[in-house]
Structure 1
Amino acid sequence: MKKLYYSAVVYTVLGLLAGLFYRELTKAQDFTAGTQLSVVHTHLLTLGTLFFLIVLALEKVLHLSSGRFFNAFFWTYHAGLVLTAGIMTVHGTMTVLGKTVGPAISGPAGLGHILLTLALVFFFLCLHNRVRPDFARPDDAERRLS
């Protein structure tokens, strides 16, 4: 449970820093057009902070971490979110600075999204195995009643 809590905290800090970076960079460059940099903070706060707070609540009730797919979900999700947010930051910064964005940005961005998708598959497998009654172990019945 601690690693879920710390994940939410880290993504909160990263999301707030991303918002500050966007505001200061665009102000310093007198940039008013649209850029991916403007949504990095919302991605980190939503996909990082809020998602891990929800997973933390589900962990408390369903003990998701006891499932065999939990570690695969946890680390794949982090890798996908960090890669996605990192590439969005690079792409947005290059846009603000007036640099050309090439295809080298598209590949890692796609990989980040693929990792997030795979992590969500692991998450739903983990969730599925904890909510289906026929997969529940006898000691789980006591936990659910208390």
Structure 2
Amino acid sequence: MKKLINTAFGYAIASMAFGVFYREFTKWNGFTGKTTLAVNHLHLFALGTVLFLVLALFAKTTSLTAQPMFRRFYGLYNVALPFMTVMFTVRGVVQVLGIPLSSGADAAISGIAGIGHILMGVSIVMLFLALKAVAKTEE
């Protein structure tokens, strides 16, 4: 449970840092349009902080963290979420700075971001499998 709370705390700090970065970077560059930098804060807060606080509650009352699938989820998820965040940042910085991209570079950023989303989807399926295993053993 302590590991999950520490993970949630780490994501909370990252969420706040990205929120400040978004606000200050766009202000410093005089940018007033839409940018993917805006979604970093919410993604890290909801998918990082809130999810791991809820999982800490589950861990307190169940054997969730003992499930092998949960350990796989934890590892993959903590690769996927930062990976997605990095790609949101790359896309957002390009948008704010107005860097013209070739269609290949634009597609590469989208493709790499897509890989992060696929990893996130796989890890969420792993989480549900772990939750189902816990529910089955603790009926």
Tell which has more relative contact order, 1 or 2 (C-alpha 8 A, sep 6+): 2
Instruction: Give CA-to-partner distance per residue, 1:112-139, whole Å, 9 cap, x none.
Output: 111111111111111001112xx34xxx
Q: Which of 118, 124, 134 is the aligned partner of 1:120?
A: 124
CA displacement at 1:46 relative to structure 2 = 0.5
Kindly report which structure 2 residues correspond to 1:18-37, keeping only aligned pairs within 5 A, or say none.
18-37=18-37
Uncovered stretches (5+) of structure 2, i.e. residues with no partner: none
CA distance in 2 between counterparts of 1:82 and 1:117 reads 14
Query: Which residue matches 2:42?
Result: 42
Q: Identity over the aligned pairs, expressed in percent?
A: 39
Cα distance between partner residues in 2 of 1:113 and 1:7 = 20
The TM-score, its normalising length taken from structure 2, stands at 0.93
Counterpart of 1:144 in structure 2 is none
Extract unaligned runs of 5+ from structure 1: 142-146
RMSD: 1.2
- Structure with higher Rg: it is 1
1:80 equivalent to 2:84? Answer no
TM-aligned CA deviation for residue 22 of structure 1: 0.5
